[in-house]
Amino acid sequence: MARIFITGSADGLGLLAAKKLVGEGHKVVVHGRNDMRANDALKSVPGAETTVSGELSLMSETIKLAEKVNKLGGFDAVIHNAGIGSSERNRIETAEGLSQLFAVNTLAPYILTCLLLRPKRLIYLSSGLHRSGDASLNDLNWEKRTWNGYRAYSDTKLHDVLLAFAVARKWKDVLSNAMEPGWVPTKMGGPGAPDSLEEGVATQVWLAVSVEKSALVSGQYFYHKRIYKTHPEAASTQIQDTLLLECEKLSGIRFPGV
């Protein structure tokens, strides 16, 4: 039996993963962006251990969330599931001066990775659109570029892959992988999405708890439980380290060493 924390588990893939893991007998802590959403998550996952709340678009709230989670003790796996989509027609700026999309999809997983008690496994949800992401890492916060929601989203999903691969390289005692669920019919994907919702959920659950040899790897990118193609620059250690440094500059939080 494993203990898993899942961000963004009040609906969508996170909620379905939580239900599946609890159904398999694992301990699960769910999360919502505020107390109401966190309580919704707990009610929606009978058998979940508990719930925590925290607004991931704000660094200050994400830091508090890490403190709440650490008070619960260690976890075998953390699934960085929370994310927002590419539908923003204009750049939305948070109270801390960041692009909301970047803050939730990139900076929050970075901060939580740095501050949470180190689990045995880390899973970062990406997207096939990461292959269209900008590996230059210029203007991460979209302060100079003309806003393009599709491109901004693709960038953040590339960041998630870079983060997963950097963690795998630097923390040899942790299995750190990224995955794409496919274009699935969630609130973000829309009702007409053609991919399998069940398989999208199955991959993150499998990476979190499976003892199969193919799941006990690190620094890989998965689609439907199979290693899949990534952005050609995703394996660049220089680009990975640049992302960590930029996230450190913005958050004030240094990535922990070995």
> Which residues carry out catalysis?
153, 157
Nearest Cα to Cα of residue 169 among 241, 254, 248: 241
| Half-sphere exposure for 19 (CA within 13 Å, toward CB) | 13
Place of tokens 């927002």: 84
> 124: which strand partners?
80, 178
- The CA distances from residue 101 to 1, 82, 104, 209, in Å, are 34, 11, 6, 29
Label residue 57 exposed, middle or buried (CB < 10 Å: 0-12, 13-18, 19+): buried
Contact 20, 205 (CB under 8 A): yes
